[in-house]
Amino acid sequence: MLHSYETDGAAIYQKSFAIIRAEADLARFSVDEEPVVVRMIHAAGMIGLESQVRFTPGMAGVARSALQRGAPILCDARMVSEGITRARLPSHNAVICTLDDPTIPARAQAMRNTRSAAALELWRPHLDGAIVAIGNAPTALFHLLNMLRDDTCPRPAAIIGCPVGFVGAAEAKAALFADPPAPVLTVEGRLGGSAITVAAVNALASRSE
């Protein structure tokens, strides 16, 4: 017997979001934040993720405005940069990932740090007013925080800091939210990842679902 299943992509999409809104506890989120959280839950397939999502006040509005102005999006990993839906971006925003730059292995060795962290040094010309999207490497988020301790380092408009993992991820995100150098969106604890981070970017790029 052949399987019977929903084959209408638009219907699947709409029903998925309806289920999320019916089952998730979204009451504490603002009108600007709620569609972002819904997309993050959708990407993770996890009702309950919302309990660990944290925004600093006004972050969603600031990030949307920056994207409208043409802010570049700086990504720590190719899984993040390649997942961003270019058609959603409001101003043909540049999407930048420097991890594959040929100088990175030598930079990482000189810094005695990971390649993910070293790649952020190439962000400096692009950081001012940018949207940062870190969804993979806790070392990248820690290094960004260290970079931003220097008052001469350009400031991003907003930071989506959702690295995933068992070593350093929870600590990096806690440090980000405890003393945010810019408006912040994060997921507490070990959860996170490229899919969740991409979902947040794509939601911030478009108000409608």
Q: Measuring CA to CA, how many Å separate 58 from each of 20, 114, 172?
A: 23, 32, 21
Exactly one of 3, 42, 126, 143 is catalytic; name it: 42
User: Cβ(176)–Cβ(159) under 8 Å?
Assistant: yes
Computed over its alpha carbons, how large is the radius of gyration of the chain? 17
Question: What number of other Cβ atoms are within 10 A of residue 193's Cβ?
Answer: 22
Q: What are phi and psi of 160, to 5 degrees?
A: -100, 105
For 42, other C-beta atoms within 10 Å of its C-beta total 20
Catalytic site includes residue 42: yes
Q: Which residues are catalytic?
A: 42
